[in-house]
Amino acid sequence: MRLNKGFAAVALNLLAILGGCGGALAQADCKTLVKASPFGPSDETGATNRITPAVTKAAAAEIQSGQVISMAYNLVDGVPLFGTRFTKTVLTSFALVPGAEYGKNKLSYMEDTYLSQSHVGTHIDGMGHIGIQDCYYNQTSMGKYVTQNYLKKLGLENIKSFATRGVIIDLVKVFQQAGKLKTNPACQTPCLDGGTVITEADIQAGLKMYNVTLREGDAVFLHTGWGDLFKQFPAKNADYNKAEPGLSKSAAEWLASQNVVVVGADTWAVEVIPSENTDEAFPVHAILLTNNGIHIIENVRTDLIAADAANSNRATFFLSMTVPKAVGATGTFVNIEAIR
């Protein structure tokens, strides 16, 4: 047995040496670090492959009253951001000065310039956002595809439709009903405190509360109440950013096993911060994005849809959200609406 192990070790070392030319070795590493896409080796789309015409048609049945509920925050200077991140709009006024109008009809006009990073406000994380070492979604060795301006693989232009069913999971109610809600004093309405771990049992309790069974292609949104601090910007930006309630790793794995396409939350990272293991960095991001191609949407406004779900006892809706086909981008701010 010992001899066999020794032989195997020597053989592996030889293979490693023989395969030591850069590209081949990197590819082999990605195959051990990241899962392959179930949609094939050339897949750059990820979970939105699951939104088939049948999924969209079934989701359309969620539109019953036509009521539209916003699930995005206003994009405005002063919202919580980290460090050097910024979002700044510059208004360019053309021909507004008296006498500078165009034509006999005195037409004037204005435009804006967005000086903004993409991961600000209510925003979606694309497949190019998170990797393990240089290995990204579908075992893509990204080092080969990075240019100064954009990614040559896994950009947002590869995403398909988000015309699917949305499901709101009200964790505030789950924790209240379980008698374990520990709110944060900075929240003006009940919220899960920063560092609160949301388990798969909590998710399942939230689904059971409204008698929902997840189905393939669903977009799942978590209402933790933490977004209350976002709404208090800029006064509570530091509180908002320093921690958050969020998914445990096992809860993320469970959601992935349900073949959902999106996990969003009223928090800045969707996952629990500080992490379950404080020497790990954003493990849920890697589980959802890198290994399963599931988009993460952060800073989602969930309070309105959660309140409507509580009033109507219905937690599902038709998701209205489109993503600009920004070639080679890793993420972008989005507008989201729940249509009931």
Partner 1 sequence: MPHFKETPAALDRRRLLLGGVWALITATTSGAGAQGRRFRIAFANQNEDPSIRLDGLGFTGMDVRRSFELAARTMPVEMTYYDNAGEGEKALANADDAIDRKIDLFIGYNVDADANAEIGRRLRAAGIRALAVNYPIPGAPLYTADNLSAGGIAGHALGDFARQNWSGQSVVAVIVGDLGDIRPSMTDRIQGIVEGLQRDLPDITLTRLDTSGNPVRIEGLLGKFLRAQTGRKVLIAALDDATALAAKTAIQVAGRLGDCIIVSHGVDHSVHGGAADKKELDPNNRGSILQGSVAFFLDRYGYEVLPIALRMLAGEHVPLRIATKHILITGQNVFQVYPPFDMN
Identity of the residue, 140 or 330, whose beta carbon is nearer to partner 1 in the bound complex: 330
Quick check: 276 binds partner 1 (CB under 8 A)?
yes
Q: Least separation, in Å, of the C-beta of 69 and partner 1?
A: 24
- The number of residues that bind partner 1 (CB under 8 A) is 23
CA distance 196 to 199: 10
Taken in order 254, 177, 277, 141, the sign of the CA dihedral is: positive
Identity of the residue, 164 or 224, whose beta carbon is nearer to partner 1 in the bound complex: 224
Among 148, 277, 311, 313, binds partner 1 (CB under 8 A): 277
Name the one range near partner 1 by CB under 8 A: 55-63, 141-149, 252-260, 280-288: 280-288
HSE toward the beta carbon, residue 297, CA cutoff 13 A? 29
| Chain CA centroid to CA 125, Å | 5
Quick check: 273 binds partner 1 (CB under 8 A)?
yes
Identity of the residue, 129 or 340, whose beta carbon is nearer to partner 1 in the bound complex: 129
Integer Rg of the chain from CA: 23
Quick check: 82 binds partner 1 (CB under 8 A)?
yes
Biggest CA-to-CA distance, the chain = 94
Among 282, 304, 314, 337, binds partner 1 (CB under 8 A): 282
CA distance 189 to 74: 20
Tokens 């998170």 belong to 130
Quick check: 298 binds partner 1 (CB under 8 A)?
yes
Of the candidates 252, 244, 330, the one whose C-alpha atom is nearest the C-alpha of residue 284 is 252
Q: Least separation, in Å, of the C-beta of 76 and partner 1?
A: 18
Quick check: 311 binds partner 1 (CB under 8 A)?
no
Of the candidates 315, 336, 298, 338, the one whose C-alpha atom is nearest the C-alpha of residue 173 is 315
Which 19-58 residues touch partner 1, going by CB under 8 A? none
Q: Least separation, in Å, of the C-beta of 233 and partner 1?
A: 15
Q: Please state whether beta strands 165-170 and 316-320 pair in parallel, antiparallel, or not at all (unpaired).
A: antiparallel
Among 32, 65, 278, 313, binds partner 1 (CB under 8 A): 278
DSSP at 140: E
Checking phi first, is residue 152 left (phi over 0); if not, alpha (psi -120 to 50) or beta?
alpha
Of the candidates 300, 295, 304, 297, the one whose C-alpha atom is nearest the C-alpha of residue 339 is 304
Which 226-265 residues touch partner 1, going by CB under 8 A? 241, 248
Quick check: 269 binds partner 1 (CB under 8 A)?
yes
Quick check: 184 binds partner 1 (CB under 8 A)?
no
Name the one range near partner 1 by CB under 8 A: 27-35, 101-109, 251-259, 271-279: 271-279
- The number of beta carbons lying within 10 Å of the beta carbon of residue 196 is 22
Tokens 């699930």 belong to 71
Among 281, 322, 324, 327, binds partner 1 (CB under 8 A): 281
Quick check: 109 binds partner 1 (CB under 8 A)?
no
Binding site for partner 1 (CB under 8 A): 82-85, 119, 195-197, 241, 248, 268-269, 273-282, 298
